[in-house]
């Protein structure tokens, strides 16, 4: 075959292969966009596990009329401008791909109104060259992204969708992680027209308030008994909740880690925690935790994986040992207090 430039839609569908694994990946991208736009309130409507519909409304900064077409096109972002920005990412998004990718494998409609603009507009992309159409709309300040029929035009991907229940449980998990990373945001989730989750905003960062949300996400027994800790060096900070070894679960369903507010499934962090628990834990139990690591943005590379599930630390050893020592000390102190308590 001769070499040909791919049509925009096809190029975007190929890119979508890396970012949009299932409806939950769409929810993650859209929620991250809303948070990057400083939204404090999210309403997430899901139909049929997300395959039929995913609609996310936020009260964030919105997208101006003359930027709607750009928002829908690939390699267009308001979050970075040059390579220096890429070295120290502070937003959740930066690739400028999500909306274009999602829009190429579903029916996507974007409706938005910045507070400074008197009217709202809606936009969607059509055809092989993904021409953007724009029409007047009605919408309060903020943005709604409405997605229907995920993978309707990519049957090979649609085949991999599981039952509505399974797909929804993946979405639920993504939202739990968001709920744990952003206490200050009010999140409502409706599935098939019924409200299934509500995480009210935690306005004051007090333990009692934080633990209430922790209970909603991780279960009340974890929230009640978990040990809170906080530790810092000159440039790293870690805080969070850990289950005491005797309270740890038998399955790894409560293992949450966040790096600079970004949800992660990080091998290095998990390894450090596992190692810290090693001598305290009986064989069948697994570490149970929600931990938050903060370090300077230029000390982590988030541009490692298209779905941004992974990060790379510049100082791997230091990060690992910092977590290991902090958690170990906490567990040791807890263990000691148990022994003293039993002896008294
Ligand atoms: P990225 O998040 O990597 O920049 P996206 O394709 O996810 O790329 O979004 C493209 C752009 O559209 C963003 O940079 C942002 O300017 C705008 N945008 C997307 N969603 C929202 C939203 N909910 N509120 C405000 N702006 C948004
Ligand atoms: Mg994005």
- Give the right CATH number for 8-199 from 3.40.50.11060, 3.30.565.10, 3.60.21.10, 3.40.720.10: 3.30.565.10
Dump pLDDT digits (tens) for 125-183: 999 999 999 999 999 999 999 999 999 999 999 999 999 999 999 999 999 999 999 99
Dump pLDDT digits (tens) for 221-237: 999 999 999 999 999 99
Residue 21 has which token pair?
Answer: 């694994």
Place of tokens 């925690």: 273
What distance in angstroms lies between residue 99's CA and the mean position of ligand 2's atoms? 7
From 4, 8, 6, select the one nearest 132 (Cα to Cα). Answer: 8
Mean pLDDT score across all residues of the chain: 94
Please name the residue whose Cα sits nearest to atom 2 of ligand 1. 93
Ligand at minimal distance from the CA of 79 is 1
> pTM of whole model > 0.90?
yes
* Predicted local distance difference test score (pLDDT) of residue 253: 84
Q: Is the pLDDT at 307 greater than 80, yes or no?
A: no
What distance in angstroms lies between residue 330's CA and the mean position of ligand 1's atoms? 40
260 lines ligand 1 (CB under 6 A): no
Task: Provide the edge-to-edge strand list for the sheet that holds 262-264.
Answer: 227-232, 237-242, 289-294, 255-259, 262-264
* Predicted local distance difference test score (pLDDT) of residue 305: 81
Which DSSP string do the residues of 250-298 spell out, in sequence order? SSTTSEEEEETTEEE--HHHHHHHHHHHTTTS-TT-B--EEEEEE--GG
* Predicted local distance difference test score (pLDDT) of residue 206: 82
Mutate which of 19, 77, 86, 110 for ligand 1 pocket (most atoms within 8 A of beta carbon): 77
**C-alpha to C-alpha distance for 59 and 78, rounded to whole angstroms:** 18
Dump pLDDT digits (tens) for 8-65: 999 999 999 888 999 999 999 999 999 999 999 999 999 999 999 999 999 999 999 9
Dump pLDDT digits (tens) for 108-119: 999 999 999 999
77 lines ligand 1 (CB under 6 A): yes
From 161, 149, 141, select the one nearest 124 (Cα to Cα). Answer: 149
* Predicted local distance difference test score (pLDDT) of residue 266: 86
| Mean pLDDT computed over 99-124 | 98
188 lines ligand 1 (CB under 6 A): no
Cβ atoms of residues 291 and 258 within 8 Å: yes
DSSP character at residue 136: E
20 lines ligand 1 (CB under 6 A): no
Higher-pLDDT residue of 343, 288: 288
Q: Is the pLDDT at 259 greater than 90, yes or no?
A: yes
Burial of residue 324 (number of CB atoms within 10 Å: 0-12, 13-18, 19+): middle
58 lines ligand 1 (CB under 6 A): yes
Residues written for the chain: 344
DSSP character at residue 138: -
Please name the residue whose Cα sits nearest to atom 16 of ligand 1. 78
Cβ atoms of residues 100 and 72 within 8 Å: yes
DSSP character at residue 62: -
Domain definitions of the chain by residue range: 8-199, 207-343
What distance in angstroms lies between residue 3's CA and the mean position of ligand 1's atoms? 32
ipTM rounded to 2 decimals: 0.99
**C-alpha to C-alpha distance for 223 and 200, rounded to whole angstroms:** 16
Residue 265 pLDDT level (bands cut at 50, 70, 90): confident
Q: Coil, helix or strand for 247?
A: helix
CA dihedral 308, 313, 317, 321 (to 10 degrees): -70
Q: Is the pLDDT at 283 greater than 80, yes or no?
A: no
95 lines ligand 1 (CB under 6 A): yes
Query: How far, in Å, are 65, 169, 215, 309 from residue 212 at the CA level?
Result: 40, 22, 5, 27
CA 100 to ligand 1: nearest atom:
6
* Predicted local distance difference test score (pLDDT) of residue 318: 96
* Predicted local distance difference test score (pLDDT) of residue 308: 77
In this structure, are strands 255-259 and 289-294 parallel, antiparallel, or unpaired?
A: parallel
Please name the residue whose Cα sits nearest to atom 25 of ligand 1. 62
* Predicted local distance difference test score (pLDDT) of residue 133: 97
Please name the residue whose Cα sits nearest to atom 14 of ligand 1. 77
Please name the residue whose Cα sits nearest to atom 19 of ligand 1. 33
Cβ atoms of residues 162 and 171 within 8 Å: no
54 lines ligand 1 (CB under 6 A): no
Ligand at minimal distance from the CA of 70 is 1
Dump pLDDT digits (tens) for 235-256: 999 999 999 998 898 888 899 9
Topology, domain 207-343: Ribosomal Protein S5; domain 2 (3.30.230)
């Amino acid at each position: 075959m001769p070499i040909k430039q791919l049509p925009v839609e096809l190029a975007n569908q190929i890119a979508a292969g890396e970012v949009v694994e299932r409806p939950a990946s769409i929810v993650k991208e859209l929620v991250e966009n809303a948070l990057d736009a400083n939204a404090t309130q999210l309403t997430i409507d899901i139909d049929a596990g997300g395959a039929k519909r995913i609609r996310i409304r936020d009260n964030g900064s919105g997208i101006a009329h003359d930027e709607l077409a750009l928002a829908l096109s690939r390699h267009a972002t308001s979050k970075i401008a040059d390579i220096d920005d890429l070295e120290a990412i502070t937003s959740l998004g930066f690739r400028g791909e999500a909306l274009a990718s999602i829009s190429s494998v579903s029916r996507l409609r974007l409706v938005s109104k910045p507070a400074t603009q008197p009217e709202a507009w809606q936009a969607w992309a059509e055809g092989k060259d993904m021409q953007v159409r724009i029409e007047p709309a009605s919408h309060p300040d903020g943005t709604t992204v409405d997605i229907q029929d995920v993978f309707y035009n990519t049957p090979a991907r649609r085949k991999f969708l599981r039952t509505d229940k399974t797909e929804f449980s993946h979405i639920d998990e993504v939202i739990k992680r968001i709920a744990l990373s952003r206490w200050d945001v009010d999140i409502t989730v409706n599935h098939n027209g019924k409200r299934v989750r509500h995480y009210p905003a935690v306005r004051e960062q007090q333990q009692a308030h934080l633990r209430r949300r922790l209970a909603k996400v991780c279960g009340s027994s974890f929230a009640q008994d978990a040990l809170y800790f906080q530790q810092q060096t000159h440039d790293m900070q870690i805080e969070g909740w850990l289950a005491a070894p005797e309270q740890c679960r038998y399955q790894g369903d409560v293992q949450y880690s966040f790096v600079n507010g970004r949800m992660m499934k990080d091998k290095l962090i998990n390894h450090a925690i596992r190692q810290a628990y090693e001598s305290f834990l009986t064989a069948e139990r697994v570490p149970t935790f929600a931990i938050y690591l903060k370090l300077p943005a230029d000390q982590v590379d988030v541009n490692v994986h298209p779905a941004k599930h992974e990060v790379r630390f510049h100082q791997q050893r230091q990060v690992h040992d910092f977590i290991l020592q902090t958690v170990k000390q906490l567990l040791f102190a807890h263990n000691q207090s148990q022994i003293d308590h039993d002896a008294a």
